[in-house]
Amino acid sequence: MKKYKGLAGAKGHKMGKAVVKPAQECAVSRSKIEDADEEIRRFKEVQSAYSEELLKLFETTKEELGQDAAEIFKAYRMIANDDYFFQNAFRKVKEERINIDYAIEQEKQKTCAMFAGMEDTYMRERGMDIENVCNELIARLKGIAVGQERFAPETEPFIVVAQDLTPADTVRLDKKYLRGFVTEKGGVTSHAVILAKTLGIPAVVGACGVTDEIENGASLYINGTEGYVVCEPDEALIKQYELEKEAMDRLADHYAKMAKKEARTLDGRRISVCVNAGDADSMEEFDAESCDGVGLFRTEFLYMDERDYPSEDRQFDVYREVLSKAAGKEVIIRTLDIGGDKQLDYMDLPKEENPFLGYRAIRLCLDRKEVFKTQLRALLRASVYGRLKIMFPMIVTLEELREAKALLEEAKAELKEEGRAYAPKIPTGIMVETPAAVLLSDKLAREADFFSIGTNDLIQYTTASDRMNEKVQYLYTPQNLSVLRAIRLVIENGHKAHIPVGMCGEAASDERLVPVLLGLGLDEFSMVPPQVGKVKSMICRMNHKEMEALAQTVLSLDTVKEVEETLGKLSFAEREGEADAALPRE
């Protein structure tokens, strides 16, 4: 038995036999060529075939695993088709008469060294994307067959052990018996981890030495919650796993049942539990029986999927579909939250020093009124197909809310004049995701019909810690008292003005936070669908009055550590009762 430590990528624990992915050796050497144009033509042929392959991978993955998991192939395709990136290589081929694969290899090394030196994990991982795309192109130029065969066709549970897994590798894996990933490279936001989360299996990344030391067929235990893997576990560990597995299966069944129930506390307070959705496709799996509606529909995907601004009619079609699929439940559609770090070529946005503090979301929409108006008109036209609520992102002043509402009224007047229908009453609310909105929440509450707290941004703006920077993750936590105080103030001010207050940031399904949020009076919790059963189950076992007292205690504490300790004691597993005492604390 040997234990390998790594980083916790995706939660959970499983056992299976190791399938070690061999490192693909693809040495590239320099050679002289005769005809530079012919060499570049050869590359273009390979480039176009690879681009087609990626398009197919995108489509298959979208079908099998949904839009989010498929997005990476779109990104790869953009890199593969980026002639600007390959320009230097072309120049070298022409000037030095060298083979194109060697020229690309050199370009790749230069670019990857630059990305590897970056502080930001996210950017380092984008460097790995460029490396992967270049490697795939080089392998094809060298005539090495790639990407065709199904990787690891297994008939029993297996865990993949690899240096790194490219998105193409992960697609080629047979998912039926796949139980987890262990990689030497990659960070906690790598694609293997994202895929593992989508599939609900554990992943451990950054586990040094695993590919050299673990043999194909070895028995493995992977713990993605704590970030380690054990090769040839002993009897005691296997027994412990069996117990955990039984408890986990029971818990999964329990959550599936709970998802169908309404969320009501023991003392009778009805809480709304909604889902977050990102595109019309994600509504395919929308289960009206398992939630109280859509608490956040992000419209960015609609814009990112297009080569130019989506027309009013195109948007109308999507919004109508979303509202119809919601089958009479409320749907909060958020207006465009783009700009800053989320760039769109056709928008021609300026490069910014501090994208998160820049030209984005409502700021951009109020500046580019024609873009905003198109979206508002499409939303209004769709409103007759369901129960629409419109939400504006990144509000920091009352003027912004007033101006956005005035534009909505203008759009209504236009439609009326054109004889087009829209719903008579469409509540209009805001995301509270900036400290400015928190501090103005008393005033904003008088002019908004609802609030939705966006903790993903609120935490980073309140604690001045970038949500993508691993060095400051210790500050980026909803257990920071400044964040909890901000949440309390927003709920209090919302309720004073008699408007509902929800939360659509990740903290809404954070099991440490749910009891406090309930105690603070949050009316609506919105989250990714797989979390609904867990949160409803927690709410149904809580007493609202007790949680109010708990929230008071927590907010009177001094440090993050004290908050963590207090909330840690309220572990979900303990509340499950004796039968599930063996449940792991995740």
Residue 504: name its binding partner from ligand PEP, Mg ion, none (Cβ under 5 to 8 Å by kind).
ligand PEP
Which residue's entry shows tokens 């991982």?
125
Closest-by-Cβ residue to Mg ion is 457
Contacts with Mg ion, 384-423, as mask; x by CB under 5 A: ----------------------------------------
| Marked catalytic residue, from 191, 231, 274, 291 | 191
Cβ distance to ligand PEP smaller for residue 429 or 505? 505
Cβ distance to ligand PEP smaller for residue 352 or 580? 352
Cα 548 to chain centroid distance, Å, stands at 31
Residue 340: name its binding partner from ligand PEP, Mg ion, none (Cβ under 5 to 8 Å by kind).
none
348: left (phi over 0), alpha (psi -120 to 50) or beta: left
- Burial label, 319 (beta-carbon count in 10 A; 0-12, 13-18, 19+): buried
Q: Which residues sit opposite 334 in a β-bridge?
A: 298, 391
How far, in Å, are 130, 336, 398, 432, 487 from residue 436 at the CA level? 38, 20, 10, 9, 13
Closest contact distance (angstroms) between CB of 510 and ligand PEP is 12
Positions touching ligand PEP (CB under 6 A) are 296, 298, 337, 433, 454-457, 504-505
Cβ distance to Mg ion smaller for residue 292 or 457? 457
Residue 15: name its binding partner from ligand PEP, Mg ion, none (Cβ under 5 to 8 Å by kind).
none
Cβ distance to ligand PEP smaller for residue 137 or 508? 508
DSSP state of 336: P
| Residue 202 in the binding site for Mg ion (CB under 5 A) | no
Among 68, 136, 154, 433, binds Mg ion (CB under 5 A): 433
Cβ contact 344:304 at 8 Å = yes
Closest contact distance (angstroms) between CB of 148 and ligand PEP is 37
Residue 169: name its binding partner from ligand PEP, Mg ion, none (Cβ under 5 to 8 Å by kind).
none
Distance CA 521, CA 271 (A): 10
Closest contact distance (angstroms) between CB of 486 and ligand PEP is 12
Residue 505: name its binding partner from Mg ion, ligand PEP, none (Cβ under 5 to 8 Å by kind).
ligand PEP
Distance CA 31, CA 141 (A): 14
Alpha helix segments (H runs only) across 265-332: 300-304, 312-325
Cβ distance to Mg ion smaller for residue 136 or 457? 457
| Residue 129 in the binding site for Mg ion (CB under 5 A) | no
Residues 445-464 that bind Mg ion (CB under 5 A): 454, 457
Selected range binding Mg ion among 215-223, 432-440, 479-487, 568-576, rule: CB under 5 A: 432-440
Distance CA 91, CA 99 (A): 11
Residue 373: name its binding partner from ligand PEP, Mg ion, none (Cβ under 5 to 8 Å by kind).
none
Cβ distance to ligand PEP smaller for residue 337 or 524? 337
| Marked catalytic residue, from 134, 291, 365, 504 | 504
Cβ distance to ligand PEP smaller for residue 168 or 302? 302
Closest contact distance (angstroms) between CB of 337 and ligand PEP is 6
Residue 324: name its binding partner from ligand PEP, Mg ion, none (Cβ under 5 to 8 Å by kind).
none
Alpha helix segments (H runs only) across 308-426: 312-325, 361-367, 369-382, 398-417
Closest Cα partner for 470 from 150, 189, 236, 169?
A: 189
Cβ contact 490:501 at 8 Å = yes
Instruction: Return the amino acid letter for 279.
Output: D
Closest contact distance (angstroms) between CB of 363 and ligand PEP is 14
Closest contact distance (angstroms) between CB of 413 and Mg ion is 30
The 10 Å CB-count burial string (b at 16+, else e) for 239-263 is eebeebeebbeebeeebeebbeeeb
Which run of H or E residues covers position 205?
Answer: strand 203-205
SS percent in the chain: helix, strand, coil, step 5: 50, 15, 35
Is residue 191 annotated as a catalytic residue, yes or no? yes
**Other CB atoms closer than 10 Å to residue 416's CB: what's the count?**
12
Residue 298: name its binding partner from ligand PEP, Mg ion, none (Cβ under 5 to 8 Å by kind).
ligand PEP
Closest Cα partner for 460 from 476, 436, 484?
A: 476
480: left (phi over 0), alpha (psi -120 to 50) or beta: beta
Closest contact distance (angstroms) between CB of 433 and ligand PEP is 5
Cβ distance to ligand PEP smaller for residue 455 or 463? 455
Q: Which residues sit opposite 222 in a β-bridge?
A: 14, 229
Cβ distance to Mg ion smaller for residue 458 or 542? 458
Residue 455: name its binding partner from Mg ion, ligand PEP, none (Cβ under 5 to 8 Å by kind).
ligand PEP
Closest contact distance (angstroms) between CB of 395 and Mg ion is 11
Q: How many CA atoms lie within 13 A of 505 on its CB side?
A: 25
Closest contact distance (angstroms) between CB of 429 and Mg ion is 14
Q: Which residues form the interface with Mg ion (CB under 5 A)? A: 433, 454, 457
Hey, which residues are catalytic here? 191, 504
